[in-house]
Chains A and B, each alone.
Chain A
């Protein structure tokens, strides 16, 4: 019992010198375990005279508690040190690049097509499709463009043997839809069209969007309103639509659709040839002969149609200045969208 103070000192040194949790555990077992030195001392208390027992017991227990407390503190320190060492060892260079996936993209023309479709479906227009290989009838005759019409020469048409050809515009979809059901009609027909022309500003295939609205009270003025809100939506900026008189055999009156140049906001720049206006399509009130060709009463029903190049809209929107880049499919180009 007289060794108790020196025992405590030895134990303290052992706790302080324990390098890790395992060594500390050995120290704990050595002193506080079932057969540990302090445990043995405590057992020895019962051999002392009865009068000395309470005090001796108290002393040993006190030392035991002190030692347990010291071990606890040491354990906590060791745990902290161990965690810190682990964290230090696990440090990585977070500025190294992540393990990325390939980045894909949707073609800018397709993206534009989706946006156009979104706008018009919200206005209650149906999306319809028609064949790309068409007949003379649907591509021309039903649209009031007879064989002899000078406007046919303006359509550089691709022909197959027989009566078929590649549609030169999306307008035949109007005819097919109107033939198949009864008015009113509100539709949008996006799709590929083809013209036998290939140079800096023409590709032999391009994309058009056709719009048709036939009902009893549909006016030219509403056409302008619809196109103006459409283009404002599309270009995300205030856009004014200008109608310029033109000629299409299937509309009367007919107009070219000009909009405020999106690049210079109408101030004049090279893109708009300093006019402040960009031509983006054609439109007009559906010609009564076209309505007649699909057996619609032109006295009761009237309406408008328009056609626009989706490629051109995409080019204007993204500032693409080379039409041919659209169909070369260069990954460097596609990756930009």
Chain B
């Protein structure tokens, strides 16, 4: 909401300057988002009268103006605006003036003609973003007067961002009320005038929806002067609040709304057929609104006559019954509508107006009549006319009964932690409009002002007190609490160790949106169903991820497009799985690897990263997390290369996948290098078990290398399993592969595999015979079970 400082200072007279007032408002809960001057910086601009004009002899679009500046002699000014004409009062920037855009006005010749100043537009004066033609001043503008004085331009606009609970501050009165409490200064309310009643109302009113319209007031004003103009001061106030002047009557309704907070509406009496009825809309009713759009009214409160709907109550009037040029008789409405009703109406029709914004947040139920009188007075001042009696239909509703709240002063100290004496509490509450109805030793009964819809509990009173006393009075105190360690879940701890580990290994952590492109996700998981948003920002961000892979692939593509060749990424986050029927959110850890290894090694050929680089990352990670028992089981996955994918199993449960992206996908994504991906469930990694010490053997370690010929189909896991099954595990310390070879000198369909065994006893030095028999058992078993033959030289 925009509010003029000058206007505020009519209501209250603080000694604080512009910025101090802004700061007081902000620190009182009315956040001043911006302070802006109402016009740009300029001086030496005066009101002047164009006495005579003639066409510039050398230029069609320029006019030579003889301008009266209040001095004895006229001056000549060359003007390019098309609306310049004799008899017009204008804003003249005199020689020596500097305009807000930095332009210095000098006496100059334009195409040979002398120009001793410039006629200004509102834009040039920094009073509008944009304007056409020069500013046209009123006929009574005093010639020679400084324009700043004429427009009272030494003013600022506070742009206040109000929280939704403070509907009571949506007016100059409301903001002034807050300041008065904060500064403990009196309010200068405008004098309340009652217009003399000249006649009975020619329009009668019936309220058929008393719940939604607890109070409806209105009156007719006849014989308005159709020629009347909105006075400059009012136009300026509206402009400063961001409202365009339309018609004197409409301008007054807007002005009173800005002043007191009560939305009003004026109907052209001649468009009202029969009595006014405030009722619920009927099926299939239509209304063309003031802004020209025609709506189908959907279960809303309307203002209607016998024939048609006139207005969407509390939101917007209809075009047909609107006050317009030439309107002479009006019916002026000032009502209290139930906030929820107006909110529903506005939402259903997608409308938000100054009126609905106020009604939704709650307009003071005590205000309609006061506002009606105020508007009547102003309309009559501007356009004359005779006022009828007031039609007022008020329900016996709870809205009009003053509400009470119980408050125990001792609770203030308990909640806030500081002392405030009771005299000060009472003073604050009374300055905010609360009435202290009764007071016992421990408890006060307070009456809540009718405009405070946000107060109902003791806590609300505590907040009012500390808000006005000042949040800056609350010291930064130290908490006293039972000593205990904070608990962190296993998933959080594992995520952290894994993140630190992977980053040490060269992987960069990414954070992707949890909603992904369903097309990419569909390419990866054609068989799976994703959870879709109903109101996504864009189709590319419309489906909840089933895996972290779509995000990682998108990040990889982003970086490949930016000349990155070798990419190692990881991410942790939730995936949203619907496969069990109900939605499961599962914290996952995933990674992606592509490009070249030994990128930083000069003098060596660069090799492409492959499956085993990623697998090495994973197995090292699993060792770090003490999860040696995770198995890599060869298995096909729809997104992965069928020959290079593995399912990660822990205790017979699938906890993740890893592999090379399917060549079909790589082709679709136009990838030139292989892309390795992995993903596993973070919750599968329980915390590492407590580690137990075992003595280090004092006896020598023996290494024996064996090379076998084996059928190409036999996978290494089977070989190692067989070795471990037959060997004495007390002395077998480690099994390593150190070479795999196929090709020349190896028969077709076979491969050579070289395995290194580390043997050591805990309690003696092994004899040659013991070592020999240990190896023989392994060799024999591998031969009979897997058809492996020892190669020569082993």
Among B8-16, B189-197, B510-518, B701-709, the one that faces the other chain is B510-518
* Beta-carbon contact of B474 and A217 below 8 Å: no
Partner of A329, one of B475, B505, B506, B511: B511
Among A9-17, A143-151, A262-270, the one that faces the other chain is A143-151
* Beta-carbon contact of B511 and A110 below 8 Å: yes
Partner of B514, one of A106, A194, A227, A256: A194
Report the separation of the CA atoms of residues A329 and B568 in the bound assembly, to the nearest whole angstrom. 12
Report the separation of the CA atoms of residues A288 and B643 in the bound assembly, to the nearest whole angstrom. 61
Distance between A293 CB and nearest chain B CB, rounded to angstroms: 14
* Beta-carbon contact of B482 and A160 below 8 Å: no
**Interface code A310-336, partner B: CB below 8 Å = 1, 0 otherwise?**
000000000000000011111110110
Report the separation of the CA atoms of residues A326 and B488 in the bound assembly, to the nearest whole angstrom. 26
Question: CB of B63 within 8 A of chain A?
Answer: no
* Beta-carbon contact of A122 and B600 below 8 Å: no
Residue total for A at the interface (Cβ-Cβ under 8 A)? 90
Question: CB of A198 within 8 A of chain B?
Answer: yes
Question: CB of A76 within 8 A of chain B?
Answer: no
A243-B472, A329-B555, A331-B508 given; A127·B414 CB < 8 A: no
* Beta-carbon contact of A107 and B466 below 8 Å: no
* Beta-carbon contact of A244 and B26 below 8 Å: yes
A97-B602, A102-B506, A124-B481 given; A288·B457 CB < 8 A: yes
* Beta-carbon contact of B535 and A102 below 8 Å: no
Residue total for B at the interface (Cβ-Cβ under 8 A)? 92
A104-B505, A220-B417, A334-B510 given; A247·B164 CB < 8 A: yes
Partner of A124, one of B477, B478, B482: B482
Report the separation of the CA atoms of residues A205 and B532 in the bound assembly, to the nearest whole angstrom. 16
Report the separation of the CA atoms of residues A253 and B482 in the bound assembly, to the nearest whole angstrom. 25
Residues of B within 8 A of A220 (CB): 415-417, 466, 474
Question: CB of A121 within 8 A of chain B?
Answer: yes
Distance between A141 CB and nearest chain B CB, rounded to angstroms: 16
* Beta-carbon contact of A121 and B485 below 8 Å: yes
Question: CB of A105 within 8 A of chain B?
Answer: yes
**Interface code B559-581, partner A: CB below 8 Å = 1, 0 otherwise?**
10010101111000110100000
* Beta-carbon contact of B472 and A225 below 8 Å: no
* Beta-carbon contact of A160 and B503 below 8 Å: no
**Interface code A212-235, partner B: CB below 8 Å = 1, 0 otherwise?**
010101111110111111000000
A247-B164, A335-B508 given; A148·B340 CB < 8 A: yes
Task: Name the residue on A nearest B480 (C-beta).
Answer: A217
Question: CB of A196 within 8 A of chain B?
Answer: yes
Question: CB of A138 within 8 A of chain B?
Answer: no
Interface residues of A (CB under 8 A from B): 96-107, 109-110, 114, 117, 120-129, 131-133, 148-151, 153-154, 158-161, 164, 166, 184, 186, 188, 192, 194, 196, 198, 204-205, 213, 215, 217-222, 224-229, 241-247, 252-256, 285, 287-289, 302, 326-332, 334-335
List the 9 closest pairs (A to B, CB-CB), nearest first: A102-B506, A221-B417, A219-B417, A245-B29, A121-B486, A247-B163, A150-B164, A253-B463, A104-B503
Known pairs A117-B492, A225-B479; list 10 more (Cβ under 8 Å): A104-B508, A124-B481, A124-B483, A129-B489, A151-B164, A158-B536, A166-B514, A205-B514, A213-B479, A252-B457
Interface residues of B (CB under 8 A from A): 26-29, 31, 163-166, 340, 343-344, 360-361, 414-418, 454, 457, 459-460, 462-463, 466-467, 471-472, 474-489, 491-492, 496, 499-500, 502-515, 531-537, 541, 544, 555, 558-559, 562, 564, 566-569, 573-574, 576, 583, 585, 598-602
